[in-house]
Amino acid sequence: MNWIDETLAPARSGRRMRIFALHANRAVLGTTGGDMINEARFLTSLSQFADVYYNGILFQPDLPDYGLQERPIAVPQEKYDLYYVRANPEIFRQLPHPKIAMAYPYDEEVFRTADALVVTTEPWKRGLTPYAKTNQFSACMQHWYGESIHPPKAIINIKQTLNPHFIPEPSENELMEARLRLTMGPTLGYFGRIDSNTFPTIMLEAFKQLVEKYPAINLAVAGTVRIPLDPTILRLPRLPHEQMPALVSACAATVTDEGNDSLFLGSGKVLESMARGVPVIAYKSPARVEQLGEHYPLYYTTDHSCRQCIEQALFDKDVRAEARRHLAIRAQHFLPEARAREIQSAFEELVWVSRHGTDAEMAGQARAAP
């Protein structure tokens, strides 16, 4: 490689970026568990413009287990253009620059030394810039960050990436099988971990009122259940991830999280439903608006508005069509290619600045030259 290539950021040299990635102490990324699924999707996006080496092994989105193998977690000896680590401060501390980390969990040294922190939503980013009592976006994050944090150097909103696995139409048999799991009746689906922090309690109350009026409708849940569930809820066992697209498709609508975290965290459920064109009934929060847009028709904030949303999502063809139209538009923004383009731009800039300083700094250096 000549000095120009060495000096220029990879994209400017035409070379693919090489990124080292690591999530906690996991040598491989499984296909169950929200965190790992999201992580794999993010790395899939990165793979579109970069060679991603997860714990030193090339991440290959199309292979089983992404082509990863169990091997000891270790600080890489090879040189990469960028290092991305999530939830492993010990490794992070030993990495060279430029390096970035997920903005959670909080670790003062990570926040201090990272060239940038990664978040998945705009409300999250705004809550950290600055993180302060006077910043209304910070309030919902106090259980994560406490009283104060070390101010990050930069924050990149990578947003979440729509899982391409959800885009192809399921076969008729797959769809029918999913419908059979859902009683063949109109069903609201809530799929994912079920705990008290995220469970949509307003939605449940509204559903319980409506089920007396429409006995054929269901509120179905599938996933790890950590709280006692109301008996009106239709419970499904944990299903293989590959069956989820059909299950989402078989729903009349899906349901998203409520609660504090939903105010600033993204939702994979929303994107999956978006990919399948299935209306989402969403508790309105800044994070949800970022995903679904301000004018999406099926937001609720109260028991009453939730009931209305359910009835519209199940029985009002016009509202369903309008919701689907919004979803189709918003989906473009979260497609892996779209996400990859934005992330690539942000990462390349980060690498460039890391090597050369900001434009202002460069200008200063130029003036100082004899």
Partner 1 sequence: MTPSTEVTWDEATTIRLDEARSIESDLSLTAGCGDGPRNFYLHGKISSPKGVESAKDIVIQVNFLDAAGEPCRDICDGLILSEEIGYFFYPLQVARAGRFERFFTLRAPVASVELKVIPWRAAARGSHVLDSLELQQAEAPFAFAEHFRQSSLPRNSLAWIAGQLRNRRGPGPVSLLDLSLGTPVPEAAATVLAGILQEGDRLEAARVDSTQSRLDHRVFVDGLELRSEILSELPGLVPGRYDLICLHTPGRGLNELADLMAADLTAIMAPGATVILAVPEAAPASGSFPWTLNDFEILGVVPIAGPDRPDATGNWVILRKAGIMARLPGLGAALYGGDYEKAALILEPEFTGSAPNPLLIEKIRPLSGKFAELAAGQAKQNHHDRAAISRLIAAELDPGNESLACEAMAALRVRNDLALTERLYDRVLKIHPNSWGVRLQGAFLYSMTGRGDRAIEILSDYVRSIRGTFNPSMRRTISTIMRSYAHECQRAGMETDNAQPLLVPEVAMAYNADHEKHAARWFASPLTDLLVHDARDRAHLRARARAAAPAPAASRRTRMLVLSAGSWRFIVKQLRYMEGQQTDFELRSYDFSFQEEEIRKKNLHEIFAPVSLDCPPAAVWAKACKEDGALKRLVEWADVIYCEWAGLPAIWLSRFLPPEKRLIVRLHSYEAFSQWPFFINWGGVDGMIFVADHIRRFADLQFRISDHPVATTVLPNFNDLSAYERPKKPGAERTVVMLGYNNRNKDPLMAVKVVEVLRRSDPSWRLKLVGHGWNPATMPPEEAAYHETFMAYIRDNGLEEMIEFTPFTHDVPGVLQEAGFMISCSWREGTHEAILEGMASGAVPVIRRWPMVSAYGAPETTYPELDYFDTAEEAAAEILGHAGTAAFAEASRRARDYVRARFTQDVVYPQFAEFVRKTIGSEVQ
Both tokens assigned to 30: 């499984």
- Interacting residues with partner 1 (CB under 8 A): 172-173, 176-177, 179-185, 215-216, 218, 231-237
Q: Which residue, 121 or 218, is less far from partner 1 as judged by CB?
A: 218
The closest of 41, 261, 342 to 163, measured between CA atoms, is 41
Q: To the nearest whole angstrom, how small is the minimum distance from the Cβ of residue 193 to partner 1?
A: 16
Cβ of residue 124: shortest distance to partner 1, in angstroms? Answer: 35
Q: Minimum distance between the CB of residue 192 and partner 1, rounded to whole angstroms?
A: 16
Would you call the peptide bond into 130 cis, given omega within 30 degrees of 0 as the criterion?
yes
Nearer to partner 1, 6 or 172 (CB): 172
Measured from the CB of residue 242, what is the shortest distance to partner 1 in angstroms?
Answer: 14
Specify the residue, 75 or 239, whose C-beta has the smaller distance to partner 1.
239
The radius of gyration computed from the CA coordinates of the chain, to the nearest angstrom, equals: 22
Q: How many residues comprise the chain?
A: 370
Q: Kindly tell me which of 177 and 303 has the beta carbon lying closer to partner 1.
A: 177
Reported as type and span, the H/E element at residue 20 is strand 17-23
Q: Which is nearer to partner 1, 187 or 291 (CB)?
A: 187
User: Which of the 8 DSSP states describes residue 14?
Assistant: T
Please give the backbone phi and psi of residue 316, each rounded to the nearest 5 degrees, phi first. -100, 105
Tell me which residue of 352, 21, 335 sits closest to 159, measured CA to CA: 335
Instruction: Please identify, using beta-carbon distances, which residue of 180 and 321 lies nearer to partner 1.
Output: 180
In whole angstroms, the minimum distance from the beta carbon of 26 to partner 1 comes to 23
Q: Which residues are CB-neighbours of 193 under 8 A, at least 6 positions away?
A: 34, 223, 224, 226
- Nearest 5°: phi and psi at 181? -65, -25
Burial class (CB in 10 A: 0-12, 13-18, 19+), 77: exposed
Calpha distance 319→336 (Å, rounded): 28
- Judged by DSSP in three states, 82 sits in strand
Nearer to partner 1, 217 or 351 (CB): 217
Q: Please identify, using beta-carbon distances, which residue of 85 and 233 lies nearer to partner 1.
A: 233
Tell me the three state secondary structure of residue 348: helix
DSSP per-residue string spanning 208-237 = HHHHHH-TT-EEEEES-B-S---TTSEEE-
Q: Closest distance between partner 1 and the C-beta of residue 199, in Å? A: 17
| CB of residue 30 to partner 1, shortest distance in Å | 19
Min dist. Cβ of residue 147 to partner 1 (A): 39
For residue 98, which phi and psi values (nearest 5 degrees)?
Answer: -75, 140
